Amino acid sequence: MNTFKVFSGTKSRYVAEEIAKNLGIPLGKMNIQHFADGEFEVCFEESVRGVDVYLVQSTFPNTDNLFELLLMIDAAKRASARSISAVMPYFGWARQDRKDKPRVSIASKLVANLLMAAGVDSVLTMDLHADQIQGFFDVPVNHLYASTVFVPYIESLKLEDMVIASPDVGGAKRANSYAKYFNTSLVLCHKQRLKANVVENMTIIGDVKDKNVILIDDMIDTAGTICKAAQLMKDNGAKSVRALASHAIMSDPASERIMNSPLDEVIFTDSIPFDSAKCSKATVLSVAKLFADTINRINNKTSISEVYLFK
């Protein structure tokens, strides 16, 4: 019997199948039965007793994806799994990582508490919105970086006069890592918001004239910020503008905005399912091999950090 097995939630099966394929094992069998009122039941259809189980499920909206993962963890624990790892290519609610105004919840801490209460032994995720979320857990968090899949693609573009840019000051650290790796200059955008998902004003810090710009972000939601930043780059003389984001949330009207923007291309991972047919400018890269390699390293008790090109 395999010492570990991989199972999938409903909405992340596409990436779980690729992870299992890269591991050279079949995807575990489970059944999720839905009742008429919307309630659902999770059942493993093969033994997990004494097995290390990896449960693949990104927790993008709606909330069913999170609750499905919680039920999977609970079912594995009650079926006497040796260890339970939640594999979350996209960790939802990560933008609510602190009290930035009075009387608000810290949702990412609540999600961490729920996962631990359900019985998870470790978490495997990628490009958290805020690194501090790792500290919300009292179990190991293996935090992967999408740079491992993005860098080879950027190199394949063979862009001359390239600069790396961040669409906001908060993403400066992430963008600076790419700038250091490629030995290019860093450009920052400073934005002011009236409210969530609405950018009031944006200014640019740095020179993009006659440059090929790559905007780096962890996620694209409504695409308001990234499109405004792209327009700003073009207005300041950029030769081309591409956007790179780990998670394609892509809430309406994001695809329409991107298609109507000066962006030449947007590059995502498949941490969240996205149909690139909705946006011809989108390129989607698989993270299945990255997660499969990491699972192998965990089981072989070897270093995970060795797979990072940079953090």
CA–CA dist 74, 120 (Å, integer):
8
CA–CA dist 79, 51 (Å, integer):
10
Tokens (6 digits) for 262: 């000066």
CA–CA dist 210, 218 (Å, integer):
26
Q: Point out the catalytic residue in the list 191, 209, 211, 234.
A: 191
DSSP string, 165-230: EESSGGGHHHHHHHHHHHT--EEEEEEEEEETTEEEEEEEES--TT-EEEEEEEEESSSHHHHHHH
194 burial via Cβ count (<10 Å: 0-12, 13-18, 19+): exposed
Q: Would you call 147 helix, strand, or coil by DSSP?
A: helix
Give one word for 102, left, alpha or beta, with left for phi > 0 and alpha for psi -120 to 50.
beta
Widest distance between CA atoms in the chain: 61
**29: Cβ contacts below 8 Å, ≥ 6 apart:** 44, 45, 46
CA–CA dist 9, 274 (Å, integer):
17
Q: Cα–Cα–Cα angle for 155, 156, 157, nearest 5°?
A: 90
CA–CA dist 36, 195 (Å, integer):
38
The answer to whether 85 and 57 have CB atoms below 8 angstroms apart is no
**Can 180 be counted among the known catalytic residues?**
no
Q: Which residues are catalytic?
A: 191
